[in-house]
Amino acid sequence: MTFDVAAVRAHFPSLTSGIAHFDGPGGTQTPAVVGQAIAHSLTGPLSNRGRSVVSERNADDAVDGFRSAMADLLGATANGIVYGRSATQITYDFSRTLAKTWNPGDEVVVSQLDHDANVRPWVQAAAAAGVTVRWLRLDPATAELDLTDLDEVVNERTRLVAVTAASNLIGTAPPVARIAARAHEVGALVYVDGVHYTAHRTVDITALGADFFVCSPYKFFGPHCATLAADPALLEELDPDKLLPSTNAVPERFEFGTLPYEMMAGAAAAVDFLAGLTTAEGSRRAQLTAANHVIDEHEQRLRRDIEDGLAALGDRITVHSVAPERTPTLFCTFRDTDAADVSRRLAGRDILAPAGSFYAYEPFRALNLGVDAGLRIGLAPYNDDTDVDRLITTLGEVVSGR
């Protein structure tokens, strides 16, 4: 099956702006159906959850629809799906909850490949609990996690391993299943940041070995919110701080205050939109898998075109996204100019590839770039050959001082 990018683009009203968006890793554009689902939910009859009248049922159905969509997307169970405002918020909440079970002498493991949202909450919770933090190191030469000392870093004292499924800075997708297998061997839990990964791969939390998996729908066409997937039986064992009158049921136990039904409806619509990008028959999960396959082929082809275009610019540009297993996200620095300036020049031509370190504080430091920022070129399914041609042509002019 081929991927009809023109047909896909037609679903995104914002693309008529003429901007070539290479900022997908920061958040994608939104298809009309997602906006319509949000408006429909919010302006239709809507009350708090219940089954008595249509307004209550609509709220209830939005919650159920969200949980079942996220479960299909992540290979999870609907009642193991927790809603959250952002991945950062969810991870902070779970770090505090899990830290209640830690004791001095215990250890937690974080990685130098991770966005700070999957580092600092654990480091701070560990400090509060008197627990030691150990690190999986990033090898700047290979852009991969150095796992030669995995069995020593993850050991009998380890209670939790927090690791990304893919880096939002350099795209590296580390061998999460291998890391998780070691963690489980010593009885540790595995918390996986799937925020970047979910936008590019079919997620199967069981195959990954993720006890907890967090992602954010605004990275894959949905509204600005997040979700965590886990085995409901594991969630039953946890004791988050919560209000006395609020339910102790799972997963609601982890969701504070009134849920934003309209965001949940929007996120479910994003999953349906993704599933509809294929003509494949079968369950929504099967359609999502098929859609991801054609999206991946499309994005990888554009990535290769960009890489070839950048290579033709010689040593004036360095691409740091070199791990064999990686998403179509290229992080670049420049010999003769700074990335922020390049980004400004591109923006002047309506090409959005932001410069920065993108909250990937640890990997940015580990790369030893000695510069303030890099340019991130991230692909989304709606990028096309015209976007790529404009990018490469303009970058060529910028780096050659024209």
Binding site for ligand PLP (CB under 6 A): 25, 86-88, 115, 117, 164, 168, 193, 195-196, 216, 226
- Cβ(189)–Cβ(211) below 8 Å: yes
Minimum CB distance to ligand PLP, residue 219 (Å): 7
**114's torsion region: left (phi>0), alpha (psi -120 to 50) or beta?**
beta
Nearer to ligand PLP, 143 or 395 (CB): 143
Nearer to ligand PLP, 227 or 333 (CB): 227
Where do the DSSP E strands lie in 320-393? Answer: 329-334, 351-352, 355-356, 374-378
Closest by alpha carbon to 292, among 269, 274, 279, 272? 274
Nearer to ligand PLP, 30 or 287 (CB): 30
Cα 185 to Cα 259: distance, rounded to the nearest angstrom? 37
Residue 144 tokens read as 């991969």
Minimum CB distance to ligand PLP, residue 230 (Å): 17
**CA angle at residue 344 from 340 to 348, to 5 degrees?**
170
Nearer to ligand PLP, 88 or 321 (CB): 88
Nearer to ligand PLP, 196 or 253 (CB): 196
Q: Give the distance from CA 147 to its chain's centroid.
A: 22
**CA angle at residue 199 from 194 to 202, to 5 degrees?**
80
Q: Does residue 348 sit in helix, strand or coil?
A: coil
**256's torsion region: left (phi>0), alpha (psi -120 to 50) or beta?**
beta
Nearer to ligand PLP, 71 or 173 (CB): 173
Closest by alpha carbon to 87, among 160, 241, 194? 194
* Residue tagged 């914002």 (tokens): 14
Nearer to ligand PLP, 168 or 333 (CB): 168
* Residue tagged 């050659």 (tokens): 400
Minimum CB distance to ligand PLP, residue 364 (Å): 13
Nearer to ligand PLP, 190 or 290 (CB): 190
Radius of gyration of the chain (CA): 21
Minimum CB distance to ligand PLP, residue 279 (Å): 31
Closest by alpha carbon to 390, among 372, 373, 377? 377
Closest by alpha carbon to 33, among 291, 221, 287? 221
Q: Does residue 34 sit in helix, strand or coil?
A: helix
Minimum CB distance to ligand PLP, residue 88 (Å): 3
Minimum CB distance to ligand PLP, residue 329 (Å): 10
Minimum CB distance to ligand PLP, residue 26 (Å): 6
* Residue tagged 């929007």 (tokens): 266
Nearer to ligand PLP, 57 or 224 (CB): 224
Q: Give the distance from CA 25 to its chain's centroid.
A: 8
Nearer to ligand PLP, 196 or 298 (CB): 196
Closest by alpha carbon to 338, among 374, 379, 302? 374
